[in-house]
């Protein structure tokens, strides 16, 4: 059973996971330099090998969450199990972007460091916050800035204050909603399932280039699958939803992909909007995202470019055949 991230994420690729895995196949190693909600990793077919999975993100809140879930899911569940409260949302946000932010520096120096309270409060806020800006560090997020506070989600009606509110207890996005496919045990079971899935996954924090070096992504002679999902760099992209302006990163990622696309040991998938990348010799797949914070028409512009050594559409992998033999 595949499991999903317990929080909404702008740019998540869970809907594209099946398309990506059809083309990457059962690779010996897998790397996600821009982890986010791990939509593709968590959508990996269950029969695939689990050797050498590496995920990375420059956002310390994201990395801390995934590390904390992997190491101590029950502690994270205890901290995120809290009713939606506008006042608590404001005060916790202030604490996260001030005191907690300084602690996250340990993520880059210690590969095992995590903080369960930061993880729990961060994911709780992700699911209660409306719009962009959660833990971005931008704006007057101090205890006395209540006049500038955001409104939390209040019910199971989703992402807006104008939606109908049937009740308050079975509510909202991510950790605030019920999970029929995981039973009635609640958030704890959800996070424990994620913990088991990530048990052997390396989770790093830093620049994307650190995890695509030959030494970092070695897979024992088998092909390496690399999913490149940088912040999109097009004129109408809403960069503020990433917390920072990452303009230029997408172009650098594209340049690296073009330089390495002919490597037979790499199967590379590059994500972007329809007009964002020119990838000669690569094939392109189309998928449709959920409507998010940006213009609704952008959901139909999603593309994934696949390097020449990726598998053909729905073609079996050599390694799939070896395993079946």
For residue 261, give the nearest of 243, 246, 242, 283 by alpha carbon: 283
201 belongs to a structural domain: no
> What per-residue confidence (pLDDT) applies to 244?
57
pLDDT of 109 > 60? The answer is: yes
Q: How many domains does the chain have?
A: 2
pLDDT of 74 > 90? The answer is: yes
3 belongs to a structural domain: no
Query: CA 270, 273, 277: angle at the middle one, nearest 5?
Result: 55
Structure-token pair, residue 224: 């390496």
213 belongs to a structural domain: yes
CB atoms within 10 A of CB 154: 18
Residues 147 and 80 in one domain: yes
- Output 86 or 107, whichever has higher pLDDT: 107
In this prediction, residue 319 has a pLDDT band, given cuts at 50, 70 and 90, of very low
Distance CA 41, CA 244 (A): 24
pLDDT of 158 > 50? The answer is: no
Domain that holds residue 235: 14-58+206-324
Residues 199 and 93: beta-carbon distance below 8 Å: no
> What per-residue confidence (pLDDT) applies to 217?
60
pLDDT of 178 > 50? The answer is: no
pLDDT of 277 > 80? The answer is: yes
Residues 129 and 123: beta-carbon distance below 8 Å: no
DSSP string spanning 4-54?
A: --SS--TT--GGGHHHHHHHH-S-SEEEESS-TT-HHHHTS-TTS--SSEE
> What per-residue confidence (pLDDT) applies to 299?
73
What mean pLDDT do residues 160-185 have?
39
pLDDT of 236 > 70? The answer is: no
> What per-residue confidence (pLDDT) applies to 289?
76
> What per-residue confidence (pLDDT) applies to 306?
98
Listed residues 196, 221, 255: the one ending a domain: 196
> What per-residue confidence (pLDDT) applies to 139?
58
Residues 192 and 214 in one domain: no
53 belongs to a structural domain: yes
Write the pLDDT tens digit of every residue in 4-38. 999 988 888 999 999 999 999 999 999 999 999 99
In this prediction, residue 293 has a pLDDT band, given cuts at 50, 70 and 90, of low
């Amino acid at each position: 059973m595949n499991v999903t991230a317990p929080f909404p994420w702008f740019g998540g690729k869970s809907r594209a996971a099946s398309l990506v895995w059809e083309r990457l196949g059962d690779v010996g190693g897998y790397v996600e330099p821009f982890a986010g909600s791990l939509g593709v990793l968590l959508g990996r077919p269950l029969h695939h090998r689990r050797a050498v999975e590496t995920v990375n993100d420059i956002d310390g809140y994201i990395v801390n969450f995934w590390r904390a879930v992997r190491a101590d899911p029950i502690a994270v569940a205890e901290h995120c199990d809290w009713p939606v409260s506008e006042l608590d949302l404001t005060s916790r946000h202030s604490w996260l972007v001030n005191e907690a932010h300084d602690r996250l520096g340990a993520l880059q120096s210690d590969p095992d460091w995590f903080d369960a309270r930061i993880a729990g409060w961060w994911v709780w806020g992700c699911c209660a916050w409306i719009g962009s800006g959660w833990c971005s560090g931008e704006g007057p997020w101090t205890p006395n800035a209540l006049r500038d506070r955001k409104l939390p989600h209040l019910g199971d009606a989703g992402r807006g204050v104008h939606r109908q509110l049937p009740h308050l207890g079975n509510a909202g996005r991510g950790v605030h909603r019920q999970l029929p496919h995981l039973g009635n045990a609640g958030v704890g079971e959800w996070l424990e399932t994620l913990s088991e899935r990530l048990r052997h996954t390396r989770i790093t924090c830093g620049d994307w280039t650190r995890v695509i070096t030959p030494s970092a992504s070695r897979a024992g002679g088998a092909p390496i699958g690399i999913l490149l999902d940088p912040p999109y760099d097009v004129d109408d992209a809403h960069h503020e939803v990433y917390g920072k302006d990452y303009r230029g990163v997408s172009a650098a990622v594209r340049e690296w992909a073009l330089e390495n696309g002919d490597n037979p040991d790499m199967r590379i998938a590059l994500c972007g909007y329809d007009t964002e990348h020119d990838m000669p010799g690569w094939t392109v797949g189309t998928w449709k995202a959920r409507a998010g914070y940006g213009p609704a028409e952008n959901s139909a512009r999603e593309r994934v470019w696949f390097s020449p050594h990726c598998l053909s559409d729905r073609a079996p992998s050599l390694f799939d055949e070896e395993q079946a033999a």
